[in-house]
Structure 1
Amino acid sequence: MMARLEELKSRHRDLDDEINALMETGGSSFQIMALKREKLRLKDSIAWLMSRLTPDIIA
């Protein structure tokens, strides 16, 4: 599961770089929006995996 988490984090960073590059070069707003949606899905997947790896501690 840790390997999958690192894979998702890496893809998330790559998408961030790709989005920034497109924004700087005047890329298609449709393409930028699609990449942002994918980045958000990745963020949700990362959060879900992290919650599965972190034990629930009831204080």
Structure 2
Amino acid sequence: MSSINPTRLTNGILILLGLIFFKPLAYFVAIMMIFAGVTGVCLLEKLFSKFGIQGKCDLK
């Protein structure tokens, strides 16, 4: 079993919270995911690395 990807987990939680409580949050996370898919730059990965959490956005 592979480790849980913190970026995908955080995106999922933010989307659920945004859809339940605050719709613009869900739109922001969706734009962030599209940006990561198009450019290969994951903004949450950069944030997590500052806290010492290693994660990858790619599927490999």
TM-score tier after normalising by the smaller chain length: 0.3 to 0.5
Query: What is the TM-score of this pair, normalised by structure 2?
Result: 0.42
The structure, 1 or 2, with the larger RCO (C-alpha pairs under 8 Å, 6+ apart) is: 1
Query: What is the TM-score of this pair, normalised by structure 1?
Result: 0.43
Q: More helix by proportion, 1 or 2?
A: 1
Bigger CA radius of gyration: 1
